[in-house]
A and B are shown apart, each in its own frame.
Chain A
Amino acid sequence: MSQTTARPAHLQHHFTDVHQQAESAKLGIWIFLLTEVLLFGGLFCFYAIYRSWNPDMFHNAHAFLNVWMGATNTVVLIVSSLTMALAIRSMQLGRRKHTIVFLAGTVLLACVFMVIKYFEYSHKIHLGQLPGKWYFFEGIAGTNPHIFFSAYFLMTGLHGFHVLGGIAVITWLIIKTARGSFSPEYYTPIEMTGLYWHLVDLIWIFLFPLFYLIG
């Protein structure tokens, strides 16, 4: 690594160069994503145990989820992941306006995702399918159908909170980009948020078939 004579403004004093700084940030965010995988892992384990114990009940209960709403949300989230990746690419090429457009598109798609989720949730709450003591829906054959909805609300709910967090952070990125805080030399916050956003997409890629497409 060649020694730069003037240290760029975004380089923190405890890093030797911008490359080391970027690599450290990326390692940090990947370790955070590791903890996210394990956080969701507990719920995936819960799902695996109860689905293996009650395969028929899970099959009967999943019929009350709307496949088309779930599939639409999958498409929405995949496209938002694409716009996020393109936002980073635009900043790498120094096209700040494109970055803002792609980030705004990502936020918009994330909001669409949450709106669809709102309609799904309110329908289920209306039917009395909230888990635990709030569960009083009687139309599902099998023992303990509320377990399916416990898994459904916990897993998609935790995922939904991650989407909300993503919306907040990406909105902050739009403001920072508009203010000119990022350049092709320094766009680490956009890249790190991108990695987080792709993981949120990745988790939904598994949640969708596990809940909406039980064979």
Chain B
Amino acid sequence: MKDDAAQRHILPLNLYLAVGSGLLVLTVITVAAAQMDFGQMNLLIAMGIAVVKATLVAMFFMHLKYDNRIYMLVFVGSLLFLGVFIIFTMFDTLRRGDIYEEISEPYLKEAVIYRTAETGTASSHAAADSSHTAAEAETETTDH
């Protein structure tokens, strides 16, 4: 039972408090950084800080730094597959413009927010061919 006690890793109180304070300081930094404009770097900075915070939580609060490495393997494995999932999807969705002409169209043309000028609010986003769909939508909505 003695070596079992050693496996439990009772971490010092100050370490927990230090990690907690570190997380709070990083939260302040990320909010402050968001008030400034770094252009393309904005997303990278915000995600970078989030990754540092997540690492602190996983390593110390979740004890990954002290535990059997198998748990680290499971966790990092899940992140690896999440990366594959998102990055490989982006290979598709970000390159579609190379083949097709990209147009931004409303998904719900009949939605209130896409009503055209004659019904009240002007919307430049309703597609050019929507004069008849908008009229249709108007009759539909007045039906209710």
Judging by beta carbons under 8 Å apart, are A135 and B111 in contact? yes
Given A86-B16, A143-B106, A198-B61, is A209 in contact with B34 using a C-beta cutoff of 8 Å? yes
Is A161 interfacial (CB-CB < 8 Å)?
no
Judging by beta carbons under 8 Å apart, are A135 and B74 in contact? no
Which A128-162 residues have a C-beta within 8 angstroms of B? 133, 135-138, 142-147
Whole-angstrom CA separation of A194 from B16 in the bound complex: 14
Is B4 interfacial (CB-CB < 8 Å)?
yes
Q: A4: nearest residue on chain B (CB-CB)?
A: B1
- Interface 1/0s, chain B 1-40, versus A by CB < 8 A? 1011001101101001101100110010011001001110
Judging by beta carbons under 8 Å apart, are A209 and B30 in contact? yes
Interface size on A, residues (CB 8 A): 65
Judging by beta carbons under 8 Å apart, are B79 and A37 in contact? yes
Is A127 interfacial (CB-CB < 8 Å)?
no
11 A–B pairs (Cβ distance < 8 Å), ordered by A:
A18-B4, A27-B74, A38-B82, A75-B24, A86-B16, A138-B112, A142-B125, A143-B105, A145-B113, A146-B108, A209-B34
Q: Which 7 A-B pairs have the closest CB atoms?
A: A215-B42, A213-B34, A209-B46, A82-B20, A34-B78, A37-B78, A136-B112
A residues sitting closer than 8 Å to B (CB atoms) are: 1-2, 4, 18-19, 23, 26-27, 30-31, 33-34, 37-38, 41-42, 44-45, 48-49, 52-54, 67, 71, 74-75, 78-79, 81-82, 84-86, 89, 92-93, 133, 135-138, 142-147, 184-185, 194-195, 198-199, 201-202, 205-206, 208-210, 212-215
B residues sitting closer than 8 Å to A (CB atoms) are: 1, 3-4, 7-8, 10-11, 13, 16-17, 19-20, 23-24, 27, 30-31, 34, 37-39, 42-43, 45-47, 49-50, 53-54, 57-58, 60-62, 67-68, 70-71, 74-75, 77-79, 81-82, 85-86, 89-90, 93-94, 104-108, 111-113, 121, 125
